[in-house]
Structures are given as C-alpha cells and as structure tokens.
Amino acid sequence: MNLPYAEPFRIKMVEEIRQSTREEREQWLKDANYNLFSLKSSQVFIDLLTDSGTGAMSDRQWGALMTGDESYAGSRSFEQLQNTVEKITGFKYLLPTHQGRAAENVLFSVLVKEGDVVPGNSHFDTTKGHIEFRKAHAIDCTIDEAFDINNLHPFKGNINLEKLEEVYKNHPKENIPFCLITITCNSSGGQPVSLENMKAVKELSDQYGIPVFFDSARFAENAYFIKKREKGQENRSIKEICKEIFSYGDGMTMSSKKDGLVNIGGFIALNNEEVFRKASNFTIIYEGFITYGGMAGRDMAALAVGLDEATEFAYLESRISQVEYLGNKLIEYGIPIQKPIGGHAVFIDSLNFLPNVSRAEYPAQTLGLEIYKEAGIRTVEIGTLLADRDPETRQNRYPKLELVRLAIPRRTYTNNHMDYIAAAIKNVYERREEIAKGYKITWEPEILRHFTVQLEKA
Ligand SMILES: CC1=C(O)/C(=C\N=C(/Cc2ccc(O)c(F)c2)C(=O)O)C(COP(=O)(O)O)=CN1
C-alpha cells in the first residue's frame, strides 16, 4: 500500500494544556469584557489567536541560542543573520528590530509623510496603523476575486494593475513613497501573490518611478504556493523562488515571528544605501544599535537558523498541509470559509455563518466568542472591530468580509487538535439559528481598537 504522509520531525518537548468547563468560560468571557485578547492563556485550551511568535523552535534553533553573541556592536550573531538574509533575499543591508511593526515604524519614519498614499494589496492592521498614524493613506488595490470566498482564484493576494495605475496617475510621485506587497496577504485570508503579478507590479512601478517594498511576514508560505500553483515553478526550490520574489522589490519589512520561526524579532532589509543610512538613525532612536536593533544576540542566532528551516519545502509542506487538513474538514461540515484555504490560517465567513446577527453587532466577534464558549478555542476577529473607525468621520468601517481567523501556530498542534477544532465549530454551526444577538462596544481606544476594546451583550 502507499505510505501515508508523516511529518518530517519528531517531538522532543511538550507543554501541558488544560480543558475547562463551559460555566468557567462564560464567567471568564464576562471578566474579559468579551474581548478574546483579554483572556489569560491558562483559560484557553487551543490558542488560534495568532500564528505570530507562537510556534515551536527546532533543536538547532535552541542550540543556536546557547552560542548567541551578546556583543553590543558587531555581534557574530548579527553577521550570521545578515549572511542568511542576503542569501535568501539578495538584500545586502539589514536592520534588526524587535518585531514587524517596529520595522514598519523605522522604515515608515524615513519614507512616509503626511498626505502620502501607500497602495498595495490589503495592508494588515498594524501596517495600516503605522501609515495612518503618519496621516497618510493605505489604498487597497487587491483583485476583486479576493472578496468572493467561493472564488477559487489561486492567487487572491494579487494586485489589480488597473487599480494600481489609477493611484499612480491620480497622485504626484512625491506623495507615493512606495507600493507595498504583503506576502501572503493576511487580511484577505492568507492568500498568496503570484510571481507574474509581482513582476508586473514592479514593471509598472518602475515606469512611474515608485519603489516596491514587501511586507514579508509569510514570504516562505507565499513561495510554497508559487511552487505548487504557478505554471513553470514546480521544479524550482523554495529558496530559488524566494530569491526571485525579492528581486521584484527594493526592500522588505519582516515580522520574524511568522516565517522566521522565532518567538520575537523583525527586520528591515534593502539595497538602497541612502534609505539604509536614514533608517539606521531611526533604528538607533527606537530600537537600539544597528547590529542588534532590539533583539538579543541569541534571538538573532535562532532567527538565522529559523529562516533557513522555513525556506525548505518539507517543512512548508508539513505546515501548510495541516492548515489544509483543518480547512477541508470544515468544508466537509458545510462551514463557509475563504477558499482556496490560506497558508497560515482558515478564515470563517461569519456573515454566512451567523445571518441573524446584524453587522452593527459584530458577527465575527460573536462567532469567535461562541467558539470559545463551546470548546475553549481562542480565535481572532478580522472584521469590523479590526477595521476600526474612519480616521476622519469616526464611523465604523465595514470591510467586505467579516472573518473569524483560525491561525495555526507552526509545529505546535497535532491533527487530533484539528479534528477537535472542526467538531467544535460544527457544533456551533448546528445551533447557528439560535444566535441572533451580537455585542456592542462599551469602551474603545483611539486606534487599533480591537486589541483592548471592551464589549457587552447587545
Ligand atoms: C502581514 C503582517 C502581519 O501579519 C503582522 C502581524 N500579524 C499578526 C500579529 C497581530 C497583529 C495585529 C492584530 O490585530 C492581531 F490580532 C495580530 C497576526 O496575528 O497576523 C505584522 C506586524 O508584525 P508584528 O506582530 O511582529 O509586529 C506585519 N505584517
């Protein structure tokens, strides 16, 4: 018989997780003002809040930690990281930061000014936050197919070139610091961008003299989808595809907490020496000296190993197959999810799941709370709460999709956990008609409200 698939690793360390009762969870949600971010990890059985920094490191990464060089300047670990980043991306200048939004803060302090526009595919919320915080505007030029959850376009992270050229034509070049391509595109469901689209975006941007940057948090997963789905790529290595991806950009920001396979860290990498020099000053102000930038030497050492591991097909196949396994189970149960299934998460369409909950009562948040009550599984809302209010009108911005994201940490849960998650969501789906009321906000902060917002039952 054909041998079934098995993971290319074995487990050497485990961490105990504990179940709770439904009564306990209902009380804990009340105490948390119905904000899943406010739960303690001890109150969560399976944590799908984020794949950011929550994965398991390998024995080689733990080994690298022990030999980290903590020198303030010129650390050996920085050199190891710099060599690895250049090998994978081709970018020769590196500025470490403590995580992805810190890289955005440093780079955007150089490139983004009041009144600018930054086009791209869907910007993730902290990236958008760092653009709007500077009184600039993010313009989403994603292809329309991305917003139809049943459309099986293989690259829903792609940029619509007509929409992008409209931006280039309607704004002076000095007010367009760069075009930002997010790979994979988190907000539209962990959807990849094709090499063909990246190439076309770079060519169009070069015509208008606009630089292109990558928000690269899940670049390796994007490369995997290119290898699996894009014509002519099936025989190329992940590392070869990554090199070509970055050849279509002038630089990158990176949240290493995703495809860096580490629990903390980020960086900027680019080829433009002038931008590097200016960004170095902001690194020193915000992050620390330019050869550690808010990271310990040991974390840079572990990251250098992590980037190498993350850009290997066997690891990516294992990681993405687990997400597909969960997604296919939910499809089998009739649950409406974003298709094709993304690389790091399964995204449930809560408007179809909970038709009786009005948009003004946050259906995606309502569904996330029901899933937690049902089985102690924490998810995150990628909908109206996250979309926040229009900076000028202060009205809710209702995005096209109201999603609940099930983000799968890397090398952390087994497929038994996936079966448990799918069964829990099926149970909620079977009682969806009874769920007719959502939630209302009792307190919210000025920006990025969903992290700390407080709610009560509507
Ligand atoms: C494509 C991209 C990201 O996905 C990203 C972060 N993402 C997170 C963490 C998170 C962020 C915002 C939330 O509302 C959230 F609930 C979760 C996530 O789970 O997906 C960052 C920023 O990288 P930092 O987290 O290292 O600073 C930059 N770019």
| 341, 156 contact by CB (below 8 A) | no
- List, by residue number, the catalytic residues: 72, 124-125, 215, 217, 258, 450
CA of 356 to the centre of ligand 1 (A): 30
Residue 390 has pLDDT above 90, yes or no: no
HSE on the CB side for 438, CA within 13 Å? 23
- Residue 391's pLDDT is what? 80
Q: Is 172 exposed, middle or buried (0-12, 13-18, 19+ CB in 10 A)?
A: exposed
Residue 188 has pLDDT above 90, yes or no: no
Instruction: Over range 208-218, report the average pLDDT.
Output: 98
Q: Which residues have CB under 6 Å of ligand 1?
A: 50, 52, 99-101, 124-127, 182, 186, 215, 217, 255, 257, 266, 380, 386, 407, 450
Alpha carbons 259 and 184: distance in angstroms, whole number:
11
Q: Which atom of ligand 1 is nearest to the CA of 255?
A: 26
- Residue 224's pLDDT is what? 98
- Residue 128's pLDDT is what? 92
Residue partners of 101: CB distance under 8 A and separation at least 6: 126, 127, 129, 130, 255, 266
| pLDDT tens-digit series, residues 291-348 | 999 999 999 999 999 999 999 999 999 999 999 999 999 999 999 999 999 999 999 9
Residue 448 has pLDDT above 90, yes or no: no
| pLDDT tens-digit series, residues 108-135 | 999 999 999 999 999 998 899 899 999 9
CA of 50 to the centre of ligand 1 (A): 8
Residues pairing with 456 in the sheet? 440
Residues pairing with 138 in the sheet? 118
- Residue 125's pLDDT is what? 85
- Residue 225's pLDDT is what? 98
Among 271-280, 312-321, 383-392, 418-427, which is the least confidently predicted range?
A: 383-392
Instruction: Over range 81-101, report the average pLDDT.
Output: 98
The pLDDT-based confidence of 165 (bands split at 50, 70, 90) is: very high
Q: Please give the mean pLDDT across all residues of the chain.
A: 97
| pLDDT tens-digit series, residues 346-359 | 999 999 999 999 99
Q: Which atom of ligand 1 is nearest to the CA of 50?
A: 19
Percent of the chain with pLDDT over 90: 96
- Residue 60's pLDDT is what? 98
3-state secondary structure the chain: CCCCCCCCCCCCCCCCCCCCCHHHHHHHHHHCCCCHHHCCHHHCCEECCCCCCCCCCCHHHHHHHHCCCCCCCCCHHHHHHHHHHHHHHCCCEEEEECCHHHHHHHHHHHHCCCCCEEEECCCCHHHHHHHHCCCCEEEECECHHHHCCCCCCCCCCCECHHHHHHHHHHCCHHHCCCEEEECCECCCCCECCCHHHHHHHHHHHHHHCCCEEEECCCHHHHHHHHHHHCCCCCCCCHHHHHHHHHHCCCEEEEECCCCCCCCCCEEEEECCHHHHHHHHHHHHHHCCCCCCCCCCHHHHHHHHHHHHHHCCHHHHHHHHHHHHHHHHHHHHCCCCECCCCCCCEEEEEHHHHCCCCCHHHCHHHHHHHHHHHHHCEECEEECHHHHCECCCCCCECCCCCCEEEEECCCCCCCHHHHHHHHHHHHHHHHCHHHCCCCEEEEECCCCCHHHCCEEEEC
Q: Whole-structure pTM over 0.95, yes or no?
A: yes
| 400, 156 contact by CB (below 8 A) | no
- Residue 408's pLDDT is what? 98
Q: Is 40 exposed, middle or buried (0-12, 13-18, 19+ CB in 10 A)?
A: exposed
| pLDDT tens-digit series, residues 396-445 | 989 988 999 999 999 999 999 999 999 999 999 999 999 999 999 999 99
Q: Whose CA is nearest to atom 17 of ligand 1?
A: 50
| 453, 432 contact by CB (below 8 A) | no
